[in-house]
């Protein structure tokens, strides 16, 4: 099969729906064999049925290190290597200061920071030299809406991890970049902010609209491919100009 990712194996976490699903679908279109992960087996099975034979699924909770170890052992057994790793699993909860609970912090930091760290660490033995690692960040690391302080802090941590890992892995030619979507029309965003808020956001951005998962996936495909061979440690905002406004 032709395509900029032909012959490559990619792992996309949190890919049963939304942005992760769109990235997996774009990678398939570019010729990759793709492994998707998520917590919900039924949702993963439905995603595989839609995405086709180039995709397999491994159920994994990114907050559970043992789950991640088992998931990447399954990837090793099936494919033996990873050429592209997209760490997309994430969560958020609106909580203004004064209303933040310990459970909120444990959930959001556990998923977005701890989960990112141990996903990459468990993938590391399988990453090929010159592999591409893409960490999914957020414009919330730069432009935080009310109640998003904890979520924004986790995405700022993801950016910091990319800077450190860029240096740690440079000797193997492994590139580490951050893909930071702005408001994107997904069910996850609607669940996070509410449908009314999402509907009102678009006119506030320079391009005048909320993005689509496919637009995020297009940039992920660039970062995964040889077209970005000299790009590492970068953060790509795909946000209609929101953080620059």
Q: Which of 199, 202, 222 is nearest to 210 (CA)?
A: 202
Residue with the two structure tokens 């159920």: 59
Exposure string (b/e) for 165-201, b if CB count within 10 Å is 16 or more? bbeebeeeebbbbbbbbbbbbbebbeebbeeeebeeb
Contact (Cβ atoms closer than 8 angstroms) between residue 198 and residue 183: yes
Q: Does the active-site annotation cover 151?
A: yes
User: Pick the catalytic residue: 21, 27, 151, 222?
Assistant: 151
Q: How many residues does the chain have?
A: 245
Helix (H, G, I), strand (E, B) or coil at 210: coil
**What is the C-alpha separation between 47 and 199, in angstroms, rounded?**
26
**What is the C-alpha separation between 154 and 169, in angstroms, rounded?**
22
Characterise 103 by phi-psi region: left (phi > 0), alpha (psi -120 to 50), beta (else). alpha
Residues recognised as catalytic: 151
């Amino acid at each position: 099969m032709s395509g900029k990712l032909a012959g490559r194996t990619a792992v996309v976490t949190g890919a049963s729906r939304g942005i992760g699903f769109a990235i997996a679908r774009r990678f398939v279109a570019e010729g990759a064999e793709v492994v998707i992960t998520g917590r919900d087996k039924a949702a993963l099975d439905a995603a595989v049925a839609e995405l086709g034979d180039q995709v397999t699924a491994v159920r994994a909770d990114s907050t559970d290190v043992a789950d991640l170890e088992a998931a990447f052992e399954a990837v090793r057994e099936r494919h033996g290597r990873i050429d592209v790793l997209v760490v997309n699993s994430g969560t958020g909860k609106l909580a203004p200061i004064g209303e933040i609970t310990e459970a909120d912090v444990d959930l959001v930091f556990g998923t977005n920071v701890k989960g990112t760290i141990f996903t990459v660490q468990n993938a590391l033995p399988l990453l090929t030299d010159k592999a591409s690692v893409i960490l999914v960040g957020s414009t919330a690391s730069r432009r935080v809406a009310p109640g998003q302080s904890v979520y924004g802090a986790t995405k700022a941590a993801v950016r910091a991890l990319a800077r450190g890992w860029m240096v740690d892995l440079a000797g193997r030619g492994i590139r580490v970049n951050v893909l930071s979507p702005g408001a994107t029309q997904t069910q996850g965003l609607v669940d996070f902010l509410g449908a009314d808020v999402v509907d009102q956001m678009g006119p506030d951005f320079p391009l005048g609209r909320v993005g689509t998962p496919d637009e995020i996936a297009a940039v992920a495909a660039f970062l995964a491919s040889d077209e970005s061979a000299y790009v590492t440690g970068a953060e790509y905002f795909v946000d209609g100009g929101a953080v620059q406004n």
